[in-house]
């Protein structure tokens, strides 16, 4: 019987690489299960009875993705613009406006999207309702700013990340009055026009199964190449 001889360096490269690829594949499957569990929990929160502002202020983590209604008046003079946001392929801005509640607290409200041509409020008449309003939407927590997210530029009204403290300082508001969450406005059946609210859509990527298949496929290809190399090497020896 011919003894199969393995090549040292190809083997030292192939075995750890195979282990790494298979591990990454299983990790993606585990992430997929975690993501689906997260979707279920978020859907349950959206279906739960609305939270109150006090509930959300007391425990923002538990209130995230809960529906909420906030009454007060918008500080339209401190409207913030978030560039590079698209809707149906059209580039524009997200409009985030501080709202002073009946209890004199302040919460940021993501009112929705406007096209670039309507960045100036004068180009969208009726988009800044005066007086007391009720903003209905979903509680969200400010995400951590990513490494590649540009710094906010309040002096140019160019905002790239939700930052309640920075928004308070820019508007001359005592940060202690600013609530630690923001509200993503829900579409209203009685209102049309700009801004266009984003609503309660859960927009989280779920590509883990594709990633897992990719890692397992790469591992299989590498294994086939290694086996073919070893057999051909032994045949020519």
- Do 114 and 164 lie in a common domain? yes
CA 209, CA 33: separation in Å to the nearest integer?
Answer: 10
- Do 178 and 218 lie in a common domain? no
pLDDT at 132: 95
96-154 pLDDT, tens digit each: 999 999 899 999 999 999 999 999 999 999 999 999 999 999 999 998 887 888 999 99
pLDDT at 97: 98
- Do 91 and 116 lie in a common domain? yes
- Do 79 and 175 lie in a common domain? yes
> Left if phi > 0, otherwise alpha if psi is -120 to 50, otherwise beta: which for 138?
beta
How large is the average pLDDT for residues 56-64? 93
Q: Note whether residue 192 is domain-resident.
A: no
How many domains, in total, are found in the chain? 2
Q: Where in the sequence is the domain holding 98, given as residue range(s)?
A: 74-185
- Do 32 and 133 lie in a common domain? no
CA 193, CA 74: separation in Å to the nearest integer?
Answer: 17
- Do 143 and 120 lie in a common domain? yes
CB-neighbour burial class of residue 5 (10 A; exposed 0-12, middle 13-18, buried 19+): exposed
- Do 59 and 90 lie in a common domain? no
- Do 56 and 104 lie in a common domain? no
- Do 55 and 80 lie in a common domain? no
Calculate the alpha carbon distances from 16 to 62, 158, 172, 219, 220 in Å: 42, 47, 57, 11, 14
CA 107, CA 75: separation in Å to the nearest integer?
Answer: 10
Q: Note whether residue 194 is domain-resident.
A: no
- Do 122 and 49 lie in a common domain? no
Q: Note whether residue 193 is domain-resident.
A: no
CA 78, CA 196: separation in Å to the nearest integer?
Answer: 19
């Amino acid at each position: 019987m011919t003894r199969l001889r393995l090549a040292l360096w190809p083997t030292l490269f192939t075995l750890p690489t195979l282990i790494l690829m298979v591990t990454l594949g299983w990790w993606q499957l585990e992430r997929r299960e975690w993501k689906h569990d997260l979707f279920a929990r978020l859907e349950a929160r959206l279906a739960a009875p609305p939270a109150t502002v006090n509930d959300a202020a007391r425990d923002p983590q538990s209130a995230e993705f809960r529906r909420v209604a906030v009454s007060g008046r918008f500080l339209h003079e401190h409207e913030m613009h978030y560039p590079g946001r698209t809707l149906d392929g059209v580039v524009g801005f997200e409009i985030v406006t501080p709202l002073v509640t009946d209890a004199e607290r302040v919460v940021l409200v993501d009112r929705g999207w406007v096209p670039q041509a309507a960045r100036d409020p004068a180009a969208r008449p009726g988009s800044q309702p005066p007086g007391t309003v009720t903003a209905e939407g979903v509680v969200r927590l400010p995400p951590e700013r990513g490494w590649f997210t540009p710094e906010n530029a309040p002096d140019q009204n160019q905002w790239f990340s939700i930052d309640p403290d920075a928004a308070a300082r820019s508007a001359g508001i005592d940060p202690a009055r600013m609530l630690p969450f923001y509200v993503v406005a829900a579409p209203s059946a009685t209102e049309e026009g700009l801004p266009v609210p984003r609503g309660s859509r859960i927009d989280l990527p779920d590509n883990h199964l594709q990633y897992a298949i990719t890692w397992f496929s790469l591992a299989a290809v590498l294994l086939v190449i290694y086996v073919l190399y070893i057999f051909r090497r032994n045949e020519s020896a």
